[in-house]
Each structure stands twice: as structure tokens, then as C-alpha cells.
Structure 1
Amino acid sequence: MDEADPRELQSLQYYLNEYGQQAEVFARQLEMLEQQRLESLAAVETLQSLGSAEDGTVLLPLGGGVSVRVQVPDPDSVLVAIGAGVTVGRSSAGAVSYLEDRARELEASEKKLSETIEKIRAQMNDLAARLDAAYRQQQPAPGR
């Protein structure tokens, strides 16, 4: 059996490393999308419960585990950040609709990204198998 070309081994290893890095980047992007989707869904829950709060008092998180009680004078009028530093006034129902649409879009993006990650992992498995076969080719046969 012929020995594997060292350049081929180096090339396979290079591509395997590159695919691994791409998969890591996409996995981090997937985590960010999931976090944004969960934040949108949490905001929907909060907006839906805001109108039912007795006397309009809610807890406002300040960060670091600290919250304050605040009264919301008009729970049906909210401000929604729509991107690029632009914020628009919407009704609570309009904001809920916007956030639900956004959550669906994020979920679709997550699905596409997951499919891409799976394709990369399949390519990595193929490369790893080829690399393993090439290394085995270099091993001397027992009894030589």
C-alpha cells in the first residue's frame, strides 16, 4: 500500500481545523440568537402581565439582582427599539405582536444556523475519517 502524501495529511488537518473554528463561531451565533429569542418571549410575558398589575405597580430590574417598585402610568403605551438606535412608540398589543414576529424570525434563523452547523460537522466527520485512513496507511503492517 502506498504511503499517504504528507501534503495531503497537512491539507486535511488544516481543513479540519478550519471547519472546527467555523462550527465554533456559528455555535456562538446560535447562542446569541437563542438569547435574543428568549428575551423577546420574556418581554411578551411581561407586557401581557403589565396590564393586569393592580394599581400599575411592577418590579423594575436595575441589574445586579436589584429591583425597584415603580408605577406605570400608561401600561398600554410602550417604546420599542426596532434597530439602528431607533425607538418607536407602540401600543402594548402592537409591541407584543412585534416581539412575537421577531421571536419567530429568530427561531427561523436558529434553524438555518443549526442546519449549517450540522453540515459543517458532517464535513468534519468526513475529513476526520479520511485523515484517520491516511494515518493508518502510514503505519507499518504487523509482521513487516
Structure 2
Amino acid sequence: MVNKVENVDPREVQMLQHYLNEYGQQIEIFSQQFRMIEQGRLESLAAIDTIGAVSAVDAADGTVLLQIGGGASVRAHVVEPERVLVSIGAEVTVERTSAEAIDFLKDRITEMEASGKKIAETIEKVRSQMDEISRRLDLVYRAAQQQAPQGQSGTL
């Protein structure tokens, strides 16, 4: 049975529910961006460790274990362990010394951490807005229930 609830505007309820859905989608997109940034940060940290390990390889042997994916590795000889090719974006790669490459990667990590922090703050703001909308919806639903005649349950 449908109740006539005079003080509850169904358009407001619909609008609030729409905002909740939109904010939920925004949070998912921001969360994906945050995960991508975190993955890039972890890869850069691993690259720094690897550059350090390759630089420390015994010059006489020069053999390293190179992971090629899928849990498979090969033994490889690093011809110039003191030189590193670094992607700087837009499919551009430059050659740097090991120290320069590590500095570049550390700078990139700092940038990613700053971006991650901004995204986390944005997610928190959107969640706060979602909480506010949820509270407003809850108040609307409670008001509708209080106005419904006793013993009847209704829908908006």
C-alpha cells in the first residue's frame, strides 16, 4: 500500500540516491588511480634495489638473475652495470648513470606519494559527502515512516 507523505519530495529522494551512486563511482575511479600510483611507487622502489644490486655485481662474473615474468628467470650478463636506461615518459628513454637513475626514481616516487596523498584526501572528501547524503536520506525515510499511519508500511 502506498502512503501519501506530504512532506517528503520523491524528487529529493531520487536526487540524493543519484548523488550517492555518482559518488560511489567516483570513489571507485579514485581508488583505481590510487592503486596504480601505489603499484608504480613499488615498482620504482624495486628498480632502485635492482640498480643497487646490479651495480654491486662482481665485475669478473657479471652474471645476474633476470626475471622475465611468469615466475621464470634467466641468467644474464650485464654489459654496463653502471649505465641504466630510464623511461622518462612519452615513450622516451634516456641513459643515466646508476646514481642518476636512482635519483630520478626517488624523485618520481616523491611525486607519486604526493599524488597518492591528494587522491586519498579526495576519496575522504567524497566519502564525507556520501555520509552526509546518507544521513539526509535516513532523515527523509524516518520522517516518512513517522507520517505513515500506524500498522501500515508504505513506500515512497
Superposition TM-score tier, normalisation by shorter sequence? over 0.9
Is 2:82 the partner of 1:49?
A: no
Structure of larger gyration radius: 2
Question: What is the number of residues matched between the two proteins?
Answer: 144
Q: What aligned pairs does 1:55-94 form with structure 2 within 5 A after superposition?
A: 55-94=61-100
Task: Please identify which structure carries the higher helix content.
Answer: 1
Structure 1 distance, partners of 2:6, 2:64, is 74
**CA distance in structure 2 between the partners assigned to 1:56 and 1:83 by the alignment:** 29
**SS of the residue 1:106 aligns to:** helix
Within a 5 Å distance, the mapping from 1:26-45 to structure 2 comes to: 26-45=30-49
- Alpha-carbon deviation of 1:119? 0.1
Question: Amino acid of the residue matched to residue 99 of structure 2?
Answer: A
1:15 shift after superposition: 0.4
Report whether the alignment pairs 1:127 with 2:120. Answer: no
2:117 equivalent in structure 1: 111
TM-score, normalised to structure 2, is 0.88
- Percent of aligned pairs sharing the same letter: 55
Give the RMSD, CA atoms, in angstroms.
Answer: 1.5
- Which aligned segments of 4 or more residues in structure 1 are displaced greater than 2 angstroms? 140-144
- Determine whether 1:102 maps to 2:95: no
Native 8 Å contact 1:2 1:137 kept in 2? no
TM-score (norm 1): 0.95
What is the letter of the counterpart of residue 115 of structure 1?
E
Q: How many angstroms does 1:37 deviate by?
A: 0.4
1:62–1:109: structure 2 CA closer, same or farther, 3 Å change rule? same
Give, as a single letter, the amino acid of the residue that structure 1 aligns with 2:44: S
Structure-2 separation of matches of 1:142 and 1:16: 25
The Cα of 1:142 is off from its aligned counterpart by 8.2
Q: Which moved more, 1:96-105 or 1:47-56?
A: 47-56
